[in-house]
Structure 1
């Protein structure tokens, strides 16, 4: 199935709130290197914000291969599992201006959703996606909350 924008459930999931309940969830962010190789990175719920049904903002550590790839190509694909659906969210991205007073400086991107492919199988249920355990939840959740606030600017 294909959709053109985030539905209400996905908007709520990616709204940047209740991060403590989403602290174990992660997504993959796919980009392409200059050598045309696929590059994958992990991205947490504290680094993604739905601005509207057709627009996401992403925060990446500065100078990473993922960020350099996005600057070069202007494209990325976010792979997420939510509500027993495997989502492939294609984005056209642009770098946002650096925030001079950011507590946790990041490369911030705005991504216009071009297409969302949803994989579902009638004979099987997806029971989980990528999950992890934070080593220092209080520190990470505080950083995520600050990052989400920066993505709103």
Structure 2
């Protein structure tokens, strides 16, 4: 199924709430380098925020290949696994201005959803995607919560 907006289940996964329940979810953000090569980066529930069903915001570590690629092309593919399906979300991203009072040095991007492909098999359920275990959950969840609050601005 191909749409131009996030389905409700994916929107809820990325809405910035209940981070404790989402602390084990990991996603992939693919971009294209200046050299035209694909680049994949893992991101967490504390680095992406669905502000609507057609707009996502990203908070990425500075000076990374992903940030440089997004600044160059503005194109990305976000991949998530949830509720028995894989989701491939094509994005058009633009940098947001830095927050002077930001607690963590992150590059922020606003990304418009271009297409969403929901991929389900008729004969099987996808039971998981990448799963992570945080070394220091309390500190990380606090940072994620603060980072997502900054993405709302």
Q: Under a length normalisation based on structure 2, what TM-score does the superposition of the two structures give?
A: 0.98
CA distance in 2, matches of 1:76, 1:10: 17
Alignment of 1:2-151 (within 5 A): 2-151=2-151
- 5+ unaligned residues in a row in structure 1: which ranges? none
CA distance in 2, matches of 1:134, 1:31: 25
Partner of 1:49, secondary structure, is strand
- 5+ unaligned residues in a row in structure 2: which ranges? none
CA distance in 2, matches of 1:101, 1:129: 35
Q: How much has 1:6 moved relative to structure 2?
A: 1.0
Residue-by-residue CA offset, 1:96-130 (whole Å, 9 max, x unaligned)? 00000111120000000000111111011100011
Partner of 1:15, secondary structure, is coil
Q: How much has 1:8 moved relative to structure 2?
A: 2.0
Q: How much has 1:7 moved relative to structure 2?
A: 2.0
Count of paired positions = 153
CA distance in 2, matches of 1:136, 1:112: 32
